[in-house]
Amino acid sequence: MTALNSSQLPSNLREQNTNPLDIDLDVIEGEIPRDCQGYGFWMVPTPQNGAIPWFNGCAQIYRLDLQDAASNKVHLKSQAFLTPSVICDRQVDNALEPCWKNIFNLQKLLFGRLFKFQNRGGLARLSPRLGVQNQCNTALQAFQDPENKTWRMFATIDSGRPFELDLTTLKPVTPVGHREEWLALEVEGIPGIGKFELPWIFPMNMSGAHPAYDEKTGEIFLINPVFDIELVDELNVSLDRPETRIHIWHGRHVGEGKSFHTAQILDDRTNEPVIIKQSTHQIVITENYLVIIDTAFRIEYDRMLFEKLPARTQNAHNQVWLVPREQLATQETVVAKHIEIPHECVHFFADRDDNGGENITLHLVLASGHDVSEWVQATDTTWTNEAIDPAFYGAPPGVYDKQGFAKCVINAKTGKIVNQENCLFEEFWGVALPTYPGIQGTSPAKFENIWVNYTGCYSEMTPKRLIELYGLYPFREVPIYEIPASKAAGILRWSPIEMKVTDSYAVEPGFLVTSPIYIPKEGQTHELEGYIATMVVTPTGSEFWLWQAGNLKSGPIAKLRHKDVKFAFSLHSAWSPEIAPRNSDYKVNVREDMNASDSKYFLPGWIKEIFEKYIYPEFE
Q: How far is Cα 159 from Cα 372, in angstroms, rounded to an integer?
A: 15
What pLDDT sits at residue 69?
Answer: 73
pLDDT at 106 over 90: no
Q: pLDDT tens for residues 470-509?
A: 999 999 999 999 999 889 999 999 999 999 999 999 999 9
| pLDDT level of residue 187 (50, 70, 90 thresholds) | low
Nearest to 391 by CA among 64, 111, 11: 11
Q: pLDDT tens for residues 538-572?
A: 999 999 999 999 999 999 999 999 999 999 999 99
What pLDDT sits at residue 308?
Answer: 74
| pLDDT level of residue 82 (50, 70, 90 thresholds) | very high
Which has more pLDDT, 66 or 308?
66
pLDDT at 107 over 80: no
Q: Name the amino acid, one letter, at 77.
A: K
Q: How far is Cα 1 from Cα 74, in angstroms, rounded to an integer?
A: 29
- Give me the sign of the Cα torsion angle 107, 112, 113, 114: positive
Cα 442 to chain centroid distance, Å, stands at: 16
Q: pLDDT tens for residues 165-183?
A: 999 999 999 999 999 999 9
Cβ atoms of 350 and 285 within 8 Å: the answer is yes
DSSP 282-308: BEEE-SSEEEEE--S----THHHH-TT
User: Do strands 261-267 and 272-273 pair parallel, antiparallel, or not at all (unpaired)?
Assistant: antiparallel
Cβ atoms of 108 and 94 within 8 Å: the answer is no
Q: Residues 381-419, buried b or exposed e (16+ Cβ, 10 A)? A: ebbeeeebbebbbbbbbbbbbbbbbbbbbbbbeeeeeee
Q: pLDDT tens for residues 504-518?
A: 999 999 999 999 999
What pLDDT sits at residue 195?
Answer: 57
pLDDT at 73 over 50: yes
Architecture of domain 21-83+134-588: 7 Propeller (2.130)
What pLDDT sits at residue 190?
Answer: 46
Alpha helices in 394-544 (DSSP H): 464-469
Domain boundaries, the chain: 21-83+134-588
What pLDDT sits at residue 231?
Answer: 55
What pLDDT sits at residue 234?
Answer: 47
Instruction: For residue 217, give every residue at least 6 positions away whose Cβ sits within 8 Å of its Cβ, in sequence order, or none.
Output: none
Q: pLDDT tens for residues 339-381?
A: 999 999 999 999 999 999 899 999 999 999 999 999 999 999 9
Nearest to 424 by CA among 403, 407, 408, 406: 403
Q: How many other β-carbons are positioned within 10 Å of the β-carbon of residue 420? A: 15
Q: How far is Cα 136 from Cα 251, in angstroms, rounded to an integer?
A: 18
Q: pLDDT tens for residues 575-587?
A: 999 999 999 999 9
What pLDDT sits at residue 111?
Answer: 79
Q: How far is Cα 534 from Cα 368, in angstroms, rounded to an integer?
A: 25
Q: What angle do CA 435, 439, 441 make, to 5 degrees?
A: 75
In the sheet that holds 151-156, the strands lie side by side as: 139-144, 151-156, 163-165, 172-175
Most confident of 87-101, 376-390, 414-428, 456-470: 414-428
**SS3 (DSSP) at 197:** coil
Nearest to 208 by CA among 150, 153, 147, 162: 162
Instruction: Give the mean pLDDT of 197-207.
Output: 89
Beta bridge partners of 226: 243
Instruction: For residue 530, give every residue at least 6 positions away whose Cβ sits within 8 Å of its Cβ, in sequence order, or none.
Output: 437, 518, 519, 520, 521, 524, 549
What pLDDT sits at residue 535?
Answer: 98
Cβ atoms of 37 and 522 within 8 Å: the answer is yes
Cβ atoms of 157 and 123 within 8 Å: the answer is no
Q: Residues 162-174, buried b or exposed e (16+ Cβ, 10 A)? A: bbbbbbeebbbbb
Q: How far is Cα 398 from Cα 400, in angstroms, rounded to an integer?
A: 7
Q: How far is Cα 58 from Cα 52, in angstroms, rounded to an integer?
A: 13
Cβ atoms of 222 and 247 within 8 Å: the answer is yes
pLDDT at 408 over 90: yes
Beta bridge partners of 421: 407
What pLDDT sits at residue 6?
Answer: 72
DSSP 110-145: HHGGGGS-EEETTTEEEETTTEE-----SEEEEEE-
Of 149-158, 173-182, 390-399, minimum mean pLDDT range: 390-399
Instruction: Give the mean pLDDT of 201-206.
Output: 93
Of 22-36, 67-81, 135-149, 374-388, minimum mean pLDDT range: 67-81
User: Do strands 131-132 and 73-81 pair parallel, antiparallel, or not at all (unpaired)?
Assistant: unpaired
What pLDDT sits at residue 119?
Answer: 87
Q: How many other β-carbons are positioned within 10 Å of the β-carbon of residue 340? A: 11
Instruction: Give the mean pLDDT of 202-212.
Output: 95
What pLDDT sits at residue 230?
Answer: 57
Long-range contacts formed by 68-74: CB under 8 A, 24+ apart = 69/32, 69/33, 69/34, 69/36, 70/34, 72/27, 72/31, 72/32, 73/24, 73/25, 73/26, 73/27, 73/32, 74/24, 74/25, 74/27, 74/32, 74/544, 74/560
What pLDDT sits at residue 255?
Answer: 85
Q: How far is Cα 438 from Cα 482, in angstroms, rounded to an integer?
A: 40
| pLDDT level of residue 459 (50, 70, 90 thresholds) | confident
**SS3 (DSSP) at 38:** coil
- Give me the sign of the Cα torsion angle 409, 412, 417, 422: positive
| pLDDT level of residue 233 (50, 70, 90 thresholds) | very low
pLDDT at 71 over 90: no
**SS3 (DSSP) at 25:** strand
What pLDDT sits at residue 1?
Answer: 56
Q: How far is Cα 33 from Cα 69, in angstroms, rounded to an integer?
A: 8
Q: How many other β-carbons are positioned within 10 Å of the β-carbon of residue 139? A: 26
| pLDDT level of residue 149 (50, 70, 90 thresholds) | very high
Q: How far is Cα 518 from Cα 142, in angstroms, rounded to an integer?
A: 14
Instruction: Give the mean pLDDT of 208-227.
Output: 96
pLDDT at 2 over 70: no
**SS3 (DSSP) at 216:** coil
Percent of the chain with pLDDT over 90: 78
pLDDT at 251 over 90: yes
Q: How many other β-carbons are positioned within 10 Å of the β-carbon of residue 7? A: 9
Q: How far is Cα 590 from Cα 31, in angstroms, rounded to an integer?
A: 45
Cβ atoms of 383 and 438 within 8 Å: the answer is no
Q: How far is Cα 330 from Cα 588, in angstroms, rounded to an integer?
A: 24
Fill in the DSSP letter of residue 466.
Answer: H
Instruction: Give the mean pLDDT of 8-27.
Output: 91
